[in-house]
Structure 1
Amino acid sequence: MEGGMVEDVSFIGGLIGVQFVYAGNAVLLSYLMSLGLNSLTIVIFSSLATFLILLPVAFYYERSVWPMKFSLKLFIQILLLSFGGVTLLQSLFLKGINLTSPSMGTAMPNLAPGLIFVIAWTFRLEKVDLSCTYSKVKVIGTLLCVLGALTMSIMSSLSISAPNKEATVQLVSSPPPDVLLDRQKIIGCLYLLAAVFMLSSNIVLQAFTLGDFPAPVSLCAITSLFGAFMTAATQLIQDHEFKTSWSLVSVKDLIAYSLLAGTVNGICLSFNGWALKKRGPVLVSMFSPIGTVCSVIFSYVTFGDTINIGSFGGMILMFTGLYFVLWAKGKEGYANGDGLDSEFDAGKPLLV
């Protein structure tokens, strides 16, 4: 009894701690970009740090399951995972955070379960029968997630201009203030939506790749290395230069942050892998909204950012849709007769 209670406390406390770390990292990344660091530069250094930290772990624990030879199909899959999951995903995510806020950046990934369901359904990896209760709930949950994301994007981009006092001083009642859309925040939300789509697509592709390369830590290390080189090439093509000095940040500071972030993220990934093995991805995913709440608090304390009522309402819609999808996904695996079999079973972790 005591051992089980200790494990439960460790499980819940650890997952909450992981969300705190992710939220703090989003705020720190926003701060680094405010100092003038390019998002691609951050991706390069953090990806190289991830590779250096994961390589010895992968060699020690997974070298026995490495494939004897790489097929062309596996090599192409790894390249796609590297470009999509490192270069595109992280750069889009960082640009989105820079134009919006860390809280928006941690809220948008909650769209992923719904988008994964849609992508898997499109490629017939997920069986859907609209006469099945769980399929209906997943469809409704996905729609709520999308509606919540759109509401958050629009409401966070609204700004109200104050009326001109000199022009209205003689009027009995002043005209209503103009409601304006912040173009930068709209673009930032589109970046985040594109990043979440890339994340969802990568999770599906990763599930296929792990069938031929059953070593998740090694796969993460390889894609991080390839992704760092691809990101460096992208920066050279885009900016025609590769900066190694900045006015407010030194190379040593950036290396120190990258190694620290890589170590902490490695610990978080390892804990998530243990939690996924113990309880499955459904329960683990239910803790993800905590990261958004933490990010809102951190952003308010550090930057003074606030969230309006409309954005908060959209966030609630997204979280509701997320839990609908996760609930249906969890029940599907245990249904007798009413449930549907799926390649993406509730007990099969797609991410480590």
Structure 2
Amino acid sequence: MKPSSLHNVYLRFKPLLLMVLAQLSYTFLYFITEASFNHGMNPHVYVTYRHIVAGIAMFPFAYFLERKIRPKLTLALFLEIFVLSLVGVTLTLNMYFASLRYTSPTFVASVVNTVAAVTFVIAVVLRLETLDLRNARGMAKVLGTLVSLAGVTIMTVYKGPAARNPGHPPIHIQRNNIIQEQWLKGSFLTIASSITWSAMYIMQAITLKRYPAQLSLTTWMCFLGAAQSAVFTVIVARKPADWRIGLNIDLWSTIYGGVVVSGLIVFIQLWCTDKRGPVFATMFNPISTILVAILAYFVFGEKLFLGSIVGAVVVIGGLYLLLWGKEGDHQEAQIKTKEQSDPKISQGEP
């Protein structure tokens, strides 16, 4: 095969390869943060430090790459970004990572797949999303949303028997025993974080229209979210020892979460969304769910409960139903954009 042909193949599959890489990175994030929390790292301190690191890592790229497109930051716009950071970083991630202490990486990774469904519900309520129940794609969006929410309900209220591990896991992470009360607490925190996460997507889309500088907006959200989270953490974690981290898993999880996930992976997702659309980026989420379940069971020796397995399958099925319905909207939007840019298309000319 000629070098030019190999290059064309690479360009064709580049978005797919990048999204798989993103999901692999998210998979590792679940385990490194769980290990850090079990080592004694406070989840709220982690969120604060992680976003300080992420903001510092992203600042030079945002400053130099978006100098020409970054609009003037007015007081009203700053307050809007402040609220967006409060919802998308402070509330979402503090609840999200706190829930990891009370449930399991498999559960948390599965519930993430409902973000698309919850976002769709919020968009319909706010009349930002059109819903036509007279066609198959409209019905698929409704059915996919209901199925996803049903899957979360199964995972929350029903644990069921644990699957027996056939051998001895090669890697062992010290875990606290999770009682049913903690499981319910963690479940509600995970669901609540999914709701605020979905609200963040809606708010971010609105803010980007007034501040069309994605890297700069993300950097602002990192710094503001870190400051907000620090204030909250000072209230709930008053021991100075909670803020100290050494050259151990706590430091590496913070650097990894800040530089790789909040920095590099966010940039990859923004690039893929720009090139292939939001539906393309969302459809890869189940990869992380499946990888987390496999690694948790066979490598780290985590107990997999029947309720989590059944619920995860139902949630993923609902997600793809919803995405199939939304893919039609994305294709229609692309056709309208082409018609507006080329009058010949709208006139039916070849």
Normalised-by-shorter TM-score class:
0.7 to 0.9
Q: Residues 97 and 252 (structure 1 numbering): CA distance in 2 closer, same or farther, change over 3 Å?
A: closer
Instruction: Confirm whether residue 46 of structure 1 aligns to residue 50 of structure 2.
Output: yes
1:224 offset after TM fit, Å? 0.9
**Superposition TM-score, scaled by structure 1 size:** 0.83
SS at match of 2:67: helix
CA positional deviation for 1:16: 1.6
Q: How does 1:219-238 map to 2 (within 5 A)?
A: 219-238=217-236
**d(CA) in 1 for partners of 2:70, 2:15:** 30
| Cα gap change, 1:244 to 1:94, in 2 (>3 Å) | closer
Tell me the CA shift for residue 335 of structure 1. 4.8
1:135-174: CA deviation from partner (whole Å, max 9, x where unpaired): 2110100000100111122233x469xxxxxxxxxxxxxx
Counterpart of 1:185?
183
**DSSP 3-state at the match of 1:334:** helix
CA distance in 2, matches of 1:225, 1:79: 10
Are the counterparts in 1 of residues 62 and 215 from structure 2 also a CA contact under 8 Å?
yes
Alignment partner, residue 288 of structure 2: 291
TM-score (norm: length of structure 2): 0.83
1:28 is matched with which residue?
32
> Equivalent residues in 2 for 1:143-162 (5 A)?
143-156=146-159, 158=160
2:258 alignment partner, one of 262, 277, 289: 262
Which consecutive unaligned segments of at least 5 residues does structure 2 have? 163-178, 337-350
CA-CA distance at 1:301 after TM superposition: 4.4
Matches within 5 A, 1:1-352: 1-72=5-76, 74-156=77-159, 158=160, 182-243=180-241, 249-250=245-246, 254-265=250-261, 266-335=263-332
Q: Cα distance, 1:226 vs. partner?
A: 1.0
1:30-76 CA-to-partner distances (Å, cap 9, x unmatched) read: 1111011111110011000000000000001112222224142x222
> In the alignment, what sits opposite 2:166?
none
Aligned residues: 314
**Please, what is the CA RMSD of the aligned residues?**
2.3
CA distance in 2, matches of 1:182, 1:50: 35
Q: Is 1:144–1:317's contact at 8 Å kept on the other side of the alignment?
A: yes
User: Are the counterparts in 1 of residues 27 and 291 from structure 2 also a CA contact under 8 Å?
Assistant: yes
Change (3 A) 1:206 1:40: same
Closer, same or farther in 2 for the Cα pair 1:10/1:238, shift >3 Å?
A: same
Between the two proteins, what is the percent identity of the paired residues?
26
- Structure 1 residue identity aligned to 2:25: V
Query: Structure 1 stretches of 5 or more lacking a match?
Result: 161-180, 340-352
Distance 1:26 1:63 in 2: 35
Change (3 A) 1:121 1:103: same
